[in-house]
Structures are given as structure tokens and as C-alpha cells.
Amino acid sequence: MDLGCRKAPPASRPDPGSIGLGRISRRVAMTAHGFGLWVLATDPYVSPEVFAEHGAEAHPLDRLRVESDFVIRTLLMREARGLLAVAIGRMKPDA
């Protein structure tokens, strides 16, 4: 019996992105890592070891914008004002 339903496309691994890797973003990254996801993150104040320790991959902001399916957190600093709007505007079309 055909109900006229379309088949869903094959599921792929979503790539969450994080502008900043502070206390909350680290918890989110560790939780996502528990589900088999790696968070793509950028934070100029965090060492590569901290990224790896929390299940995140360090990427420059431009690459994060293009490869992330969604952004989960942003820095709450004066220098970061407006970064989220710019990131959303440059994300991949299916994000």
C-alpha cells in the first residue's frame, strides 16, 4: 500500500559549531561527544589540548561558518559582538 510518503534522505552526522569554548560550551561539547559528535569550535583563548579534552575540534571562524550545521554557543565578550549574525549569514545552505 503506497501512502504517497517520500523517503527521508540518509541521515548524516550533524556538525554543531561553537563560537567560543567557555564553561558552558565545553559541557555541550562533552555531551555531544557522548553521542558520537565532534563540535567544531573557535576560541583564540583556548589551547588545542583543551579542545581535544572536551571533544571539540579547533577550526578558524571562516571554516566553522562553512562546515557547521548549527551554532550552539557564542562568546559573551565585547569582541564577539556581531559574530553570530555573520556566522549565520555565511553558513552552508542546508544548515
CA distance 1 to 60: 50
- Residue 10's CB is within 10 A of a number of other CB atoms, namely 5
Tell me what pLDDT residue 11 has.
53
Tens digits of residue pLDDT in 36-58: 888 899 888 899 999 999 989 99
Residue 88 has pLDDT above 90, yes or no: no
Domain ranges within the chain, ordered by starting residue: 16-89
pLDDT for residue 1 is more than 60: no
* Superfamily of domain covering 16-89: NAD(P)-binding Rossmann-like Domain (3.40.50.720)
Residue type, 64: L
For residue 94, pLDDT beyond 60: yes
Q: State how far the Cα of 47 lies from the Cα of 49, in Å rounded to an integer.
A: 5
Read off the pLDDT of residues 8-33 as tens digits, 9 standing for 90 and up: 445 567 788 888 888 888 998 899 88
Q: With 70 as the cut, is the pLDDT of residue 3 above it?
A: no
